[in-house]
Amino acid sequence: MELYELTVHELVDKLEKNEITSEEIVKSYFERIREKDGAVKAYITTLEEQAMQQAKEVDAKRKAGEKLGKFAGIPIAIKDNMCITGTKTTCGSKMLENFVAPYDATVIEKLNQENMIYLGKLNMDEFAMGSSTETSSFFETHNPWDLSRVPGGSSGGSAAAVSANMAPWTLGSDTGGSIRQPAGLCGVVGLKPTYGLVSRFGLIAYASSLDQIGPITKDVTDSAHLLNLIAGHDEKDTTSSNMPKKDYTTSLVNDVKGMKIGVPREYLGEGTSAEVKEEMFEVIKKYQELGATVEECSLDVGKYASAAYYMIACAEASSNLGRFDGIRYGYRSGKFSNLKDIYKNSRSEGFGAEVKRRIILGTYVLSSGYYDAYYKKAQKVRTLIKNAYGELFEQYDLLLTPVSPTTVFKLGEKMASPLEMYMADICTVPVNIGGLPGMSVPCGVDSKGLPIGFQLIAKPFAEETIFRAAYTYEQNTNFREKNQPTFKG
């Protein structure tokens, strides 16, 4: 087995036994990137020279007996909306094509403390606005399971890199499903933590009340390890929760006996494909066999989540992206004769069609005369959805839904229909509206051999419950051993 095929915890075990070196691991990954990324196109920026030098330094420290972090010398790749000092951070946009970050995001500071190594920055939908990684200003990312199909989005590069064994694990961000949906479509594990559990400082904002950084990994164990590293209070993020530090690996217990799982009927109805439904019923059956109680329930107000989400997210995007005007930040057009021209032309040329669509919608719903009718009403719906979740979690430990109503679609298939594209996130958006934790777990493949994932949702800060249920399922099904990307197409 090649080094790039191993999970992070397997790599750490070999490092601790001195069976391999960090330099060998990093070299293996860059060889894999050279082999596969021409077809997949997950990376915007690679940092090979820097990474190889860091690996040699870590190996020298380890050989000298210096105390190092548990994950010292382990490589990671980062979605290109998180700042790393001295490295380009483009957000997949022409607007920030040449922006070099002058500081580290808090999550990067935490990884630096471990002496981890950055393979590069990963492609994404522009400013995280999209469900397919097709709105990137630079290029489309392709799904390793079928190169003619999308990897999901907006963290499509992050999911595709892990799926294609071009990174052992990655960080993505999730505003309405942008970690879970691509993880589900690429056959890997993706976790959106509870809002506030992971600092957003240094994450270039899309919608500040919804954005959350989280891990994309090969298995559930690695997800717990990476969440351990990045979770925690941060004074630089005013929305950061001051929760006691937890060790999520203690939740990796192969046992769900006595656990109550609710399955909202609305997510297995019209609009969900027959193959996805069939796989969900297999997951339900497996949990029942393992000793969990699984019951049908209702989340009727969830049908309003997408409409509320696009009101709130676009309003916040309109505000957050106002700084990119060609003067304070971002791309500046060369065509201007006055200040108004600079603003207009810089934003017209610097932003892509989807970002402009969402800015315009957001500005509209915040404008005088429409604020109460749209934005304020959306916030009231948000409260209703949060309350509905709260009532369900009085009865159930977890909720189980599909990650996506269909399996992965073809490149270009939904680009002409924004509304159809928005519906790709219908299963994931309510979790962000509620500020809840949710995990995408791979469970099977469809008739074309394309991955299907299911989603586990818990009450706020109950990630341990998700890890326990996800780990138990994983240990009793072994998806990775049975299924691997084909790179066909």
Q: 157-185 pLDDT, tens per residue?
A: 999 999 999 999 999 999 999 999 999 99
Q: Is residue 67 part of a domain?
A: yes
Torsion of CA 93, 98, 101, 105, to 10 degrees: 20
Is-contact 462 428, C-beta < 8 A? no
Token couple for 24: 């060998």
Residue 346: asked if its preceding bond is cis (omega within 30°), the reply is no
β-pairing verdict for 451-457 and 438-445: antiparallel
Q: 243-259 pLDDT, tens per residue?
A: 999 999 999 999 999 99
Give residue 419's pLDDT band: very low, low, confident or very high (50, 70, 90).
confident
Is-contact 466 458, C-beta < 8 A? yes
Q: Is residue 401 part of a domain?
A: no
Token couple for 474: 């994983």
Q: 350-367 pLDDT, tens per residue?
A: 999 999 999 999 999 999
Helices (H), 104-247: 106-113, 156-163, 180-186, 220-230
Rounded mean pLDDT, 219-233: 98
Token couple for 441: 């777990």
Q: Is residue 13 part of a domain?
A: yes
Q: Is residue 148 part of a domain?
A: yes
Q: Is residue 392 part of a domain?
A: no
Is-contact 230 218, C-beta < 8 A? no
Q: 314-323 pLDDT, tens per residue?
A: 999 999 999 9
pLDDT exceeds 90 at position 487 = yes
CB count in 10 Å sphere of residue 87? 20
Token couple for 482: 């049975």
Q: Cα(35)–Cα(29) distance, rounded to whole angstroms?
A: 10
Q: How far is CA 482 from CA 283, 370, 486, in A?
A: 16, 52, 12
Torsion of CA 241, 244, 248, 250, to 10 degrees: -160
237-246: long-range pairs with CB below 8 Å, 24+? 237/106, 237/199, 237/200, 237/201, 239/195, 239/196, 239/200, 239/208, 239/209, 240/196, 240/199, 240/200, 240/201, 241/194, 241/196, 241/197, 241/461, 243/197, 243/461, 246/463, 246/464
Q: Cα(425)–Cα(231) distance, rounded to whole angstroms?
A: 25
User: Residue-wise over 220-244: b if at least 16 C-beta within 10 A, else e?
Assistant: bbbbbbbbbbbbbebeebeebbeee
Q: Is residue 123 part of a domain?
A: yes
Predicted TM-score (pTM) of the model is 0.97
Q: Cα(376)–Cα(396) distance, rounded to whole angstroms?
A: 30
Token couple for 279: 């796989």
Where residue 478 falls (left for φ over 0; alpha for ψ -120 to 50; beta otherwise) is: left
CATH number of the domain enclosing 213: 3.90.1300.10
Domain count along the chain: 1
Q: Is residue 308 part of a domain?
A: no
- Residue 58: domain span: 3-256
Q: 36-78 pLDDT, tens per residue?
A: 999 999 999 999 999 999 999 999 999 999 999 999 999 999 9
**Angle between the 8-16 and 22-40 helix axes, to the nearest 10 degrees?**
160
Q: Is residue 286 part of a domain?
A: no
Q: Cα(74)–Cα(211) distance, rounded to whole angstroms?
A: 26
Q: 274-301 pLDDT, tens per residue?
A: 999 999 999 999 999 999 999 999 999 9
pLDDT exceeds 90 at position 489 = no
Catalytic residues: 79, 154, 178
Token couple for 336: 């201007």
